[in-house]
Amino acid sequence: MQSSALLFISAVFLGALTIASAGNFYQDFDITWGDQRAKILNGGRDLTLSLDRVSGSGFKSKNEYLLGRIDMQIKLVPGNSAGTVTAYYLSSQGPTHDEIDFEFLGNLSGNPYTLHTNVFTQGKGNREQQFHLWFDPSLVRPHQGLPHLLHLFNNLESIGIPFPKNQPMRIYSSLWNADGWATMGGRVKTDWSNAPFTASFRNFNANACVQAPGSSSCTRPDPNQDSSWQDQALDASGRNRLRWVQQKYMVYNYCTDVKRFPQGLPPECKRSRFL
């Protein structure tokens, strides 16, 4: 499989996505920290994370996934979310881990959320991109915030760049305080009079290959699920949407930061068609 993306992660900020078999948070996830600040509700259909002055909270998936498509609906912290970070990512373990990051950096009311992305392969990251979201991800409105490809990481193993295809990864999410850097470089601090802050999750769906403990291969939990993602490629429409997002809403791209890389930009940047 020479796909541009190993695990397709879709974070959708609305109530209009139809999913044939949404997961159950009791069955699919474990709450990992935060005491009672993380709650599974409505028989496992919903999960909320909260943050107060004492602590944030988080959860992780019970399964590890090697190949597949992951969907989740997320409603971020509304109002003045400055200083808060809602992280949603996949990661393997160890010093040479693979990781695919989405971090939503809060902001003052009326200003857009910033989406911070990164990709780690074999323990190496430094592939950050940032986008200002063009909609309010704290509101649930039909047909708003439909998925767009934001961070494209091509398989360039042919020129010696590791690709995250061999290490199974769990899904993680957390809500935490990062007012030392999250909003305007840390100049805007968290207003704790608005606490507790809350982010909500629902309609998780993993059309993915699950890695069994101690196994060198993975299995599909439902063989009847659509497997079209295995052959999915970026078509002309997808390329146009990517260009549109990058041209209008990208505010940082490591592939253009020559000051950060005085010895030369990372080799994958020279092979990108979208910069």
Active site residue 103: yes
Active site residue 99: yes
The radius of gyration computed from the CA coordinates of the chain, to the nearest angstrom, equals: 18
Cα atoms in the Cβ-side hemisphere of radius 13 Å centred on 240: 3
User: How far apart, in whole angstroms, are the C-alpha atoms of residue 84 and residue 206?
Assistant: 27
Q: What are phi and psi of 50, to 5 degrees?
A: -135, 160
Q: Which of 99, 128, 157, 268 is catalytic?
A: 99
User: How far apart, in whole angstroms, are the C-alpha atoms of residue 196 and residue 60?
Assistant: 21
- Token pair belonging to 222: 């439902």
The CA-based angle 172-177-183, given to 5 degrees, is 105
Is 162 exposed, middle or buried, given 0-12, 13-18 or 19+ CB atoms closer than 10 A?
Answer: middle
Q: Which of 64, 103, 128, 268 is catalytic?
A: 103
Residues constituting the chain: 275
Catalytic residue set: 99, 103
